[in-house]
Homo-oligomer: A and B are copies of this chain.
Amino acid sequence: MTDQAAGGSHRAAPVHTHPDEVSVLTALSALADPVRIQLIRELAGSADWARTCGSFDVPVGKAALSHHLSVLRGAGLVEQRDEGPRRVNRLRRQEFDARFPGLLDLVLRGD
C-alpha cells in the first residue's frame, strides 16, 4: 500500500464544485447556517490561502468543521488545497458572485 497520508493530516485531496454547477437551493442551503456564515465572513476578511482549517473561530469540533467546509466546497463557496501538512482555504468570491450576484454581499454585510 502507498502511504498517501505521509506528512499530512488529510486523507484525500478535497473535491470541489464550481459555482456554475450549483443550484440556488444548494447555495441557499449552504449559506443558511450560522457556523458556515462565520467561516465565510472570516475568509472574506483574509487573503486567499491565508487561513488554515484550524484558524477559524467557530464553536465546533474538528469533524463538524470538516463537514461544514465540505458543504461550502460543494456549493462553490470555498476552495481548499494542501500545502504540506496544512490545508488552506480561500473564498471563491469572484466566481460565486458571477453565478449569484449580490448573495455573498448580503451574507457579509452582517445585519
Contact = CB atoms under 8 A, between A and B. Distances in A.
A107 interface: yes
A32 B28 contact: yes
11 contacts: A24-B109, A24-B111, A25-B32, A25-B34, A28-B107, A29-B32, A32-B32, A101-B106, A102-B103, A102-B106, A103-B106
Contact of A101 (B32, B34, B102): B102
Contacts of A23: 111
A100 interface: yes
Given A23-B111, A25-B32, A25-B37, 6 more contacts: A24-B37, A25-B33, A28-B28, A29-B32, A32-B32, A102-B106
How many copies of this chain?
2
A3 B34 CA distance: 43
Given A102-B102, A103-B103, A106-B102, A31 B34 contact: no
Given A101-B102, A102-B103, A28 B25 contact: no
A18 to B, nearest CB: 14
Give the one of A23, A24, A37, A101 with max B CB within 10 A.
Answer: A24
